[in-house]
Structure formats: C-alpha cells, structure tokens
A and B are shown apart, each in its own frame.
Chain A
Amino acid sequence: MKYSYLKSRKKSALTADMQLLFVFFSITFFMLVLTYLFLSFKDYRFAQDEMDMNQKKIDLNININTMQNQIAFIEKQNALAEMVHTKNTVLKDSITNLFDLVPQRITLSKASLLENGLILHGITPNKDVYNFMLQAPLRSIFHRTYSSFYPAQNGWMNFVSTNYIDKVEEELIDEED
C-alpha cells in the first residue's frame, strides 16, 4: 500500500557541497604542485647556471694566468732588449773614448778590448810622450797598467800597454754606491 505519490530520490554521496569541496581540493592541489614544480625548475636552472658560471670562471682564470705569464715574458724580453741595447751603446761610447784618448803623436797598431781590460800595441816617438799623453789617462781609468817598450826601426819606440780593471774593487764600489 502506497502512502505517497512521490518516488523516493536516490541519495548520492557526491552532493553539490561535496563537488564544491572536490573542486576546491583540486585547485589547492594543483596550485601546490605547480608551485613545487616551479621551484624545482628554478633550482635546476640555478644549478645549471652555477655550473656554467663556475666553468666560465675557471676558463677566465686560466686565460688570466696565461696572459699574466705572457706579460711577465714580455717584461723579460723588454729587460733583455734594454740590457743588450745599453751594452751596445756603452760599448760604442767606450770605443769612441778609447780612440779619442790616443794622442795624435802616438799611432796604434792593434787594440784588444777585453771584458775587464784593454791591450794596446802601438808606436810612440819616445817613452815620455807615451807616459804623459797615454799612460796617465789610462792609469786614471784602469786599476792596473803595465807597459813595455822595444825599439822600432825608425828610432821610435814600440809599446805594449796592458790595462786591467779589478772586478772585486769594481763590485765594492758598486756596493758602496
């Protein structure tokens, strides 16, 4: 026997409220996961960038090191060039001074320039001319001066003048300076 004309409604757990709750749940879940993925991606990119930048730093440091070595080598080349050029110039001045030192009346036949000395062979009218005009200035330049004479065919005197600079004394003078 029926008491109502209405049919009974089937009840479901998925009501409108529950659906709303699920939507809210899904959106929250989606946003959380999205944030997590974003952070993970950024961390990954940072790690990549860090690796790239560290590699670039290493490359740059290697380059800097190479260039510094090149600069140091150029400085050495420059120092060598200056030393060689100065030596050549000093040598030129020394030879000029040497030939200027020899008076008109004395004729040189041979001159040997050594690292620490000078050997002169020549001819002089007499010993006095040599002693006053050549030996005196040589004595003021060199520490040790030795001279020997032997007669020439024309009545003049051949001479051999050997002059040395003592390196020890020279070094001491340099140290004092």
Chain B
Amino acid sequence: MKKIEISRQNIYIAVLSVLLLIFVLIFSFSLLIPQGKEYRIKRAEIKNITKELHEIENYHFEILELLKKMQGDNRNTITALETKFSKERFLKQHKEFFNTLTLSQRVQVDNEGEFIVYDVNTSSQMNSPKSFYNFLDAINKSDWMIGVNFPIEFKRDGEMIYSTFSMKIYSNPKESNTTESNTAK
C-alpha cells in the first residue's frame, strides 16, 4: 500500500485555511449578517418615517397658510376683540352722532362662550333717530366688538330725543395680552 506523503508545510496551510474559513463563517453569521439585516430594516423604517415627515410637513404648511389667510381676512375682528375698551376713546369717536353722550363704568357681566362680556350703560341726547341709526352703523366699524343691547328707551324731551341703552362689549379671555399699542391706533 502506497503511503500518502503530505509535507508539514501543506498541513500548516490546510489548517490555517480551515481556521480562516471557520473565522469567516462565525464572524459572518454572528455579527455581519444580523447587522446587515438590522441595517436593511432601519433603512426601510427611515424611508417610511421620512415619507410620514414629508406628509406632516406638507399638512403643517397647509394649516399655516390657512391660519395666515384667516388671520388676514379677519384682522379687524381679531384686533377688535383684543383691543381694551377705552371710555375716552369711545366718547371721542362717537360723540359726533349725539348732542350729549355719557357712559357708565364698564362692568364684567358674563362670559359668552370663550369671550368676556362687559356691560356699559349709555345715555344720550339727539335731534333725530337718524343719529342713532348712524351710531349703529358706526359701532359695527368701531375698534371694539360692541353690540347694542335691550332695553332701549327713547324719550321725547322738547325738540330732543333722550335715549338710554346698554352696550355689550366683547373681549378675548386674556385681556392681559392686549397692549396699549393696540388701543392707541
């Protein structure tokens, strides 16, 4: 029987090659492949999150545009509700409609929804009811949100008409937010 002769050198090479193969297999299966899988999963997750983020960003942009538009369209209303009522300014702006106009101190009466409502009693003297109509037109364009309230009383006093009525002044809940610059337009 012929004896197979393998040199010691070849045995070293064979052993080392086997060791390298074992190392590569162990390294690959225990570290590299799990890490690769994790990489692929996370990459897919990131892709989804990026897509969601873009959708949210687009929605955010739409809402922001809508808010800006609404703030622009309703600027007068927003400012009117933010502006603190000033008795002196009101008298200055509206006394032209009456011969005399007096206001009582404003009193917080109630909350209507989310808004604070103040009540001001008003008495005035005028020559004709037309002055009162003009006054009603003017308060719809005034710096505050004012509604004329019942009861309204007109009394003839010679050539003059004496009127008394109450006004409801509506204001935002946080009046502390209003600034004097708002009121001093």
Contacts and interface: CB of A to CB of B under 8 A. Distances in A.
A56 B12 contact: no
Interface in A33-51: 35-36, 39-40, 42-43, 46-47, 49-50
Given A32-B28, A50-B46, A43 B39 contact: yes
Interface string A71-108: 10111111011011101110110011001000000011
A63 interface: yes
Q: Is the interface of A mostly helix, strand, loop or mixed?
A: helix
Interface in B47-93: 49-50, 52-53, 56-57, 59-60, 63-64, 66-67, 70-71, 74, 77-78, 80-81
Given A21-B16, A60-B60, A95 B42 contact: no
Interface of B: 9, 12-13, 16-17, 20, 23-24, 27-28, 31-32, 35-36, 38-39, 42-43, 45-46, 49-50, 52-53, 56-57, 59-60, 63-64, 66-67, 70-71, 74, 77-78, 80-81, 112-115, 129, 132-133, 136-137, 139-140, 145-148, 150-156, 168, 170, 172
A129 interface: no
B114 A74 contact: no
Contacts of B140: 84-85, 88-89
Q: Is the interface of B mostly helix, strand, loop or mixed?
A: helix
A88 B49 contact: no
Nearest to B80: A81
Given A21-B16, A47-B42, A112-B154, 8 more contacts: A42-B43, A49-B46, A53-B50, A64-B59, A76-B114, A80-B81, A81-B80, A112-B153
